[in-house]
Structure 1
Amino acid sequence: MPRELVFAAWTDPEQLQHWYAPDGCTIEYRSIEVKAGGEFHSCIHDPVHGDCWIKGVYHEVSSPEKLVLTMTLSNEQGDVVTANNAGKPEDWPQAIVTTVTFVSIGEKTEVTLHQTVAESEARKTGAYQSWFSMFDRLNNLLVTR
């Protein structure tokens, strides 16, 4: 897939609703403004573990090369909450910086994702594995477009 299409799937709220949640879960955006300084407030609805509210800020939106955003645990009203109150381990970071880069390799796009949370912690909470299922959903969405 050309990186412009992949980048659009990361920045178009309509497309995000179809893939940006782990298997068995859905995502709802209360608000989303994808631009530098823009904010979002979302909830991943998980039928097993309950709702996970996140708010964040887009710090860099460089189409089609790079996205940098923070994600902070919140409640339904958008107030910041502690990791414990959000059902995460106590040492889970209050805010996570996510950097996503998009590199063209022929007709394909290499996506690199980096988050400021320890991989071991992400594996324990299921966050690490969730990215793989979300990337599968993204790929399926892009193939059908």
Structure 2
Amino acid sequence: MTTISSGGEPAHATADREVVISRVIGAPRELVFAAFTEVRHLSRWWGPDGFTTATRAFQFRVGGEWDFVMRGPDGTDYPEWITWREIVPPERIALLHGESRDDPNAFESVLTFEPAGEQTRIVMHTVFPTKEVRDEAVEKYHAIEGGEQTLHNLAAYVAELASKGMES
């Protein structure tokens, strides 16, 4: 049996364009999902270490957009844009992420939230339009380290929420 990617091509055809990052987070998936889908939470943890996130627009629904700016530790602003393609609470989110709505190098990500007892395993599976775009994201923008740091920040934030007894 051949696995087909969301783009309709055999999954092995995308292997050189993929980045997959995962982490087990010590909280129920409903709380982890809420932290990932509500703008009041996102601004508290989104991005690699030392980055801040300022939202310009946010509509969490299929076809909705998140328009935001990430500011790096050196003061550089990075405009970002996400459109939500699929939302299956609290299991899955599919999105398209780029610098703007018309970014030719925008990439697709699928996030899954899997229960692991009282914890949640989150998997971010990203497919870039080309191997070169993936390689640039990994080498120039440190996408793997940044993704791992972002999930670490999510885990720390959710732990803080859980310790305060907040469900979302």
Q: TM-score range by the shorter chain?
A: 0.7 to 0.9
Task: Answer yes or no: is 1:69 the counterpart of 2:101.
Answer: no
Q: Kindly report the root-mean-square deviation, in angstroms, between the aligned alpha carbons of the 2 structures.
A: 1.7
1:123 aligned partner, one-letter code: V
Task: Answer yes or no: is 1:53 the counterpart of 2:79.
Answer: yes
Match of 1:135 among 151, 155, 161: 151
TM-score (norm 1): 0.82
Distance in structure 2 (CA, Å) of the matches to 1:95 and 1:72: 4
Distance in structure 2 (CA, Å) of the matches to 1:120 and 1:106: 35
Matched residues, percent identical?
29
5+ long unaligned stretches in structure 2: 1-26, 162-168
Q: Deviations over 1:63-120 (max 9, x none)?
A: 000001111213xxxx646xxxxxxxxxxx6111111001101111110101113564
Structure ID, larger Rg: 2
Match of 2:123 among 112, 115, 118: 112
1:136 aligned partner, one-letter code: H
TM-score (norm 2): 0.72
Shift of 1:49: 6.6
Instruction: Tell me the residue number matched to 2:105.
Output: 94
Task: Answer yes or no: is 1:25 the counterpart of 2:51.
Answer: yes
Change (3 A) 1:72 1:123: closer
Task: Answer yes or no: is 1:2 the counterpart of 2:6.
Answer: no
Change (3 A) 1:50 1:56: same
1:17 aligned partner, one-letter code: S
Higher RCO, Cα 8 Å, sep 6+: 2
Change (3 A) 1:9 1:136: same
Query: How many aligned residue pairs are there?
Result: 130
Provide runs of 4+ in structure 1 moved above 6 Å: none
1:126 aligned partner, one-letter code: H
Distance in structure 2 (CA, Å) of the matches to 1:113 and 1:28: 22
Instruction: Tell me the residue number matched to 2:60.
Output: 34
Question: After the TM superposition, which residues 80-91 of structure 1 pair with which residues of structure 2 at under 5 Å, given as runs?
Answer: 80=102
**What SS does the aligned partner of 1:131 have?**
helix
